[in-house]
Amino acid sequence: MSFDSLSYLLFLPAVLLLHRLCPPRGRWIVLLGASLFFYASWNLPLTLLLLAVIAVSYLAGRLLARLEKPRQRRAVLVFALALCLGLLLYFKYFRFLAGALAALLGQSWKLWDVIVPIGVSFYTFQALSYVIDVCRDPARVERHFGYYALYVSFFPQLVAGPIERAERLLPQLRAGAQGNAEDLRTGLRLLLVGYFRKLVIADFCGPLVTAVYAAETPDGSAVFLGTLLFSLQIYNDFAGYSEIARGSARLFGIRLMRNFDRPYLALGFRDFWRRWHISLSQWFRDYLYIPLGGSRSGLARRLGATLLVFALSGLWHGANWTFLFWGLFHGAGLCLELLFRRKPIDQPWQKALGMLLTFLAVSFAWIFFRASSLPHAFALIQCLFSRWDLSAGLALLGITATDGLWLGAALLSGGLLHRLSQKDARPRDMTLVWLLLCIALAWLIRLGQGGENAFIYFQF
């Protein structure tokens, strides 16, 4: 059940109604039942994997809270991490790692297919953050299994984040609050913004990007425009998902963290990662970068830790060399900033130039993210730096004047969407009416094209 399917639009009000009818003490049961149903609607047997991760991390948390000897605690932590990460490695990376090993040994192995469970990277990381937090501070343990299971499986953020921390989400789930009128208004507003981003902007860019990335030897201008469109698509697709997740949770009176903050206005790679997929960046910072030494260690160690964190962050997105390269590209960018950027940027023209250069560098890196393989990515880069024929590029993309108008409006709407997703936004009725009308029309266009466009981050 995807957020942009009709079944979700029926599921969400039904759960909200049940939640409102239920007394506060039993609300977690409604939400847990709905979350498991939501996940089981993708794949029933793989719900067992989700339950296994919940059970392992819950038991590890209880044990960590009870044990006092550091050696025993460390053993429990290592065991829980190994089990959860082992499941993640098997389901997501088995074919990739075995294939790489076979290539290294010059062998050809017949490997069986493994279905990658949807959202496995997200809920495993959320469970791991809880176990590590309890190991650091046993007072953070959650003794109620139901609340804990709901924390890992809460349906708005189960499949593609934000990766919430227990200290933020668990108290809200325990309180069993129901959304007040303000929560309902804000939730609906966030839902509208999210659906607008997905249906009106991301789904519009999708076919244009595919036309370029599926072509054998596209023109340099087509690669350039297609990659810029992919930057627009992936941002609005993922930020749209996050806003729908926040909006859905807010209807129940639960506040999820903001996952994006206008990332394409970033000044440099460091700033970009403060604004892009914030929950994942913070996870890697708190549970990997800082334990590796963080900003207080020497320069060489910082550089090494940065590269390692970004290599793993790239691989987190998928079992493919392209993601590893994408992560390393960002890691290298950050290392260069660490080495050479000394003075803060003050002048407005410097800021504008810095933003433009960062956007172009980040967009360039998206080529690795979007390409099907490393040779494909390098071939596209070769095309990018060879012949440029704008008319041929536009013909490949098939952009009309209407599309141009649409794209311009989509770009300009970024500021409006950002304002609407702020907590104290006060939109007048007509803004929301226009948003709703645009979403309805985009939905009609999608129906006319006869297909669904899955959220890009669902595959991770």
| CB of 151 closer than 8 Å to CB of 49 | no
CB contact set of 175 (below 8 Å; sequence gap of 6+): none
Question: What six digits make up the tokens of 173?
Answer: 């789930």
Tokens of 108: 């050809």
94, 321, 406, 458: residue in contact with other proteins (rule CB under 8 A): 406
Q: How many beta carbons lie within 10 A of that of residue 371, not counting itself?
A: 20
- For residue 392, the minimal CB distance to other proteins (Å) is 8
Site string for other proteins, 359-398 (x = CB under 8 A): --------------------------------xx-xxx-x
Task: Select which of 19, 144, 277, 317 is catalytic.
Answer: 317
19 is catalytic: no
Q: 23 preceded by cis ω (within 30°)? A: no
Q: CA 141 to CA 134: how far, in whole Å?
A: 6
Window contacting other proteins (CB under 8 A); options: 14-22, 143-151, 435-443, 450-458? 435-443
CA distance 376 to 382: 10
* Token representation of residue 453: 């466009």
Q: Which is nearer to other proteins, 344 or 448 (CB)?
A: 448
The minimum distance between CB 396 and other proteins, in angstroms, equals 7
Nearer to other proteins (CB atom), residue 354 or residue 427:
427
**Does the footprint of other proteins cover residue 103 (CB under 8 A)?**
no
Contacts of 343 (CB under 8 A, 6+ apart): none
Instruction: Return d(Cα 283, Cα 281) in angstroms, integer.
Output: 5
Footprint (CB under 8 A) of other proteins, residues 194-213: 200
Are residues 61 and 139 in contact, defined by beta-carbon separation less than 8 angstroms? no
We find the least distance from the C-beta atom of residue 186 to other proteins, in angstroms, to be 13
Nearest Cα residue to 416 out of 427, 406, 403, 424: 427
Give the whole-angstrom CA distance, residue 408 versus residue 432. 20
Q: Does 217 bind other proteins (CB under 8 A)?
A: no
The single-letter code of the amino acid at 175 is A
Q: Which of 41, 43, 297, 431 binds other proteins (CB under 8 A)?
A: 431
403 binds other proteins (CB under 8 A): yes
CB of 200 to other proteins, least distance (A): 7
Residue whose CB is less far from other proteins, 63 or 229: 229
Q: How far is the CB of 240 from other proteins (least distance, A)?
A: 16
With respect to other proteins, which residue has the nearer C-beta, 158 or 420? 420
Binding site for other proteins (CB under 8 A): 200, 391-392, 394-396, 398-403, 405-406, 409-410, 412-413, 415-416, 419-420, 422-431, 433-435, 437-438, 441-442, 444-445, 448
Residues annotated as catalytic (active site), given as ranges: 317
